[in-house]
């Protein structure tokens, strides 16, 4: 009998291809926020500093707000026609806008059309990301359904966060090698153009992926005509639970996009130095995510998740206070400690998510939970934090937002204990059967 505690060669190849594709696609989406200080001055020069920042971050947030719609559209095809087809579709919606932003004229050249086109292109990328990451979670969890699921999913998130690291690294190189005048003249376009080429490479990689056995083993009668309606009719409590579970993860990802600008704008740290620290912190986060996946498989998904969110509630405010000491040593220490804590989250919540929904609506369920969380809690984070800082006249206001999200996620995990102990017993038997079928098919 095949041992589901190990990862087969075919599963390993699938993980590598899926994770590398995730690196390139997530880079395309997040490079915008790293260049927000440049974009706001080029595209919203007529506005006050506060309004220019708010408009720039609002366009970023709109990309997040459209993720649920993207999830609905792409998950319909994923639950009806297969997971792989969505992997190919989302690349096109992500890469073409990235390349177009790199070529987009500024308002000085085409007036109000420039920010409007920027908004449209970011909306396309938001739709794409709404289908991309839930598809990846579904794809990986169905390929590796045994006792290595959390680790496999942590490898996926390692890849996605490597896109964050790549974006941070590219921005660091840009600010180090070019003068400010060169960045504003043409340099800011380079990361977007690179993103377009990265997307095409990702499309090439994904041509070699195979559909999951869990999906192909579904009988025709089990395929749902409208998966979303079936999901909301029978599994809406699980969608709400999943949304709250992902909530903390959505905010922690946002922080690595927001911190360089936040610390530069409100605490007057050097932006280039902050980008180097941010890059190092992202690298530590990526390594900790892998450790978190190993621990989640060993100690239990829920146990590790509860521990991680508890530590965030207790330590977030003290670590934000270190930011305000106006000393780079304390900033580095805070970054690294946050990176250690955040690593406990992704492998745990994605493993829990994959067990909440049956195969026929699994992609739709994960997409709705994941994208609603990122739209509401993650996407609105820059606007919420900026508004809170000015409203409460405190640079520490974002800490309360992180603590609140950690508490809500902890409650959702704890209160969902009974339902998760019952439903996954049935679903996991289906998953184990799919794993055995795939292992026998490939000969391991």
- Mind listing the pLDDT tens digit for each residue in 21-69? 778 778 888 889 888 889 998 998 887 777 888 888 888 878 877 888 8
Q: Which residues contact 398 (CB under 8 A, 6 or more apart)?
A: 258, 262, 320, 385, 388, 389
Residue 355 confidence (pLDDT) above 50: yes
CA–CA dist 375, 373 (Å, integer): 5
Beta strands in 274-408 (DSSP E): none
Burial profile 89-113: b = 16 or more Cβ within 10 angstroms, e = fewer: bbbebbbbbbbbbbebeebeeeeee
Cβ atoms of 128 and 90 within 8 Å: the answer is yes
Could you please state the CATH topology (level 3) that the domain comprising 9-211+234-442 is classified under: Growth Hormone; Chain: A; (1.20.1250)
Provide the pLDDT for residue 412: 92
Provide the pLDDT for residue 223: 64
pLDDT, tens digit, 9 for 90 and up, residues 100-153: 999 999 999 999 999 999 999 999 998 888 888 888 888 888 887 667 888 989
Token pair belonging to 386:
């900026």
Cβ atoms of 211 and 138 within 8 Å: the answer is no
Instruction: Give the number of residues written for the chain.
Output: 444
Provide the pLDDT for residue 58: 86
Residue 235 confidence (pLDDT) above 90: no
**Integer distance in angstroms from the first to the last C-alpha of the chain?**
11
pLDDT, tens digit, 9 for 90 and up, residues 264-311: 988 889 888 888 898 888 889 989 999 999 999 888 889 999 999 999
Q: Which residues contact 222 (CB under 8 A, 6 or more apart)?
A: 359, 360
Provide the pLDDT for residue 417: 63
CA–CA dist 430, 350 (Å, integer): 18
Residue recorded with tokens 């005509």: 225
Residue of 282, 32, 41, 26 whose CA lies nearest to 171:
32
Lowest pLDDT segment from 87-101, 107-121, 395-409: 87-101
Got the DSSP string for 12-26?
HHHHHHHHHHHHHHH
The pLDDT-based confidence of 1 (bands split at 50, 70, 90) is: very low
Residue 438 confidence (pLDDT) above 80: no
Q: Which residue has the higher pLDDT, 84 or 314?
A: 314
Lowest pLDDT segment from 2-6, 141-145, 201-205, 375-379: 2-6
Residue 384 confidence (pLDDT) above 50: yes
């Amino acid at each position: 009998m095949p041992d589901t505690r190990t990862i087969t060669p075919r599963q390993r190849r699938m993980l590598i291809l899926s994770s590398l594709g995730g690196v390139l696609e997530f880079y395309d989406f997040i490079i915008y926020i790293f260049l927000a200080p440049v974009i706001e001055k080029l595209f919203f020069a007529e506005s006050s500093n506060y309004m220019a920042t708010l408009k720039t971050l609002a366009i970023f947030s709109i990309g997040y707000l459209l993720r649920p719609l993207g999830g609905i559209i792409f998950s319909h095809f994923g639950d009806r026609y297969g997971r792989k087809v969505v992997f190919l579709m989302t690349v096109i919606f992500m890469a073409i806008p990235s390349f177009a932003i790199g070529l987009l004229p500024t308002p000085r050249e085409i007036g109000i059309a420039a920010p409007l086109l920027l908004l449209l292109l970011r909306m396309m990328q938001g739709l794409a990301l709404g289908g991309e990451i839930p598809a990846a979670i579904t794809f990986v969890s169905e390929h590796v359904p045994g006792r290595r699921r959390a680790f496999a999913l942590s490898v996926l998130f390692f890849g996605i966060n490597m896109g964050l690291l790549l974006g941070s690294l590219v921005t660091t190189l840009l600010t180090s090698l070019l003068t400010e005048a060169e960045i504003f003249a043409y340099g800011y376009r380079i990361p977007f153009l690179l993103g377009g080429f990265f997307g095409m490479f990702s499309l090439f990689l994904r041509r070699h992926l195979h559909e999951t056995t869990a999906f192909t083993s579904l009988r025709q009668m089990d395929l749902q005509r409208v998966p979303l309606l079936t999901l909301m009719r029978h599994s809406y409590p699980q969608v709400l639970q999943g949304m709250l579970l992902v909530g903390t993860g959505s905010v922690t990802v946002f922080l690595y996009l927001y911190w360089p600008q936040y610390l530069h704008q409100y605490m007057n740290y050097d932006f280039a130095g902050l980008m180097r620290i941010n890059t190092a912190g992202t690298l530590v986060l990526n390594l900790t995510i892998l450790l978190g996946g190993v621990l989640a498989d060993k100690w239990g998904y829920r146990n590790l998740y509860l521990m991680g969110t508890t530590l965030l509630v207790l330590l977030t405010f003290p670590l934000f206070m270190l930011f305000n000491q106006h000393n780079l040593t304390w900033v580095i220490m805070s970054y690294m400690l946050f990176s250690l804590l955040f690593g406990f989250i992704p492998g745990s919540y994605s493993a829990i998510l994959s067990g909440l929904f049956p195969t026929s609506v699994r992609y739709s369920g994960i997409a709705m939970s994941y994208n609603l969380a990122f739209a509401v809690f993650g996407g609105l984070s820059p606007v919420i934090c900026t508004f809170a800082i000015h409203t409460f006249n405190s640079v520490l206001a974002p800490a309360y937002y992180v603590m609140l999200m950690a508490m809500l996620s902890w409650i959702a995990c704890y209160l969902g204990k009974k339902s998760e102990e019952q439903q996954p017993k049935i679903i996991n038997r289906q998953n184990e059967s799919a794993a055995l079928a795939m292992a026998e098919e490939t000969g391991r």
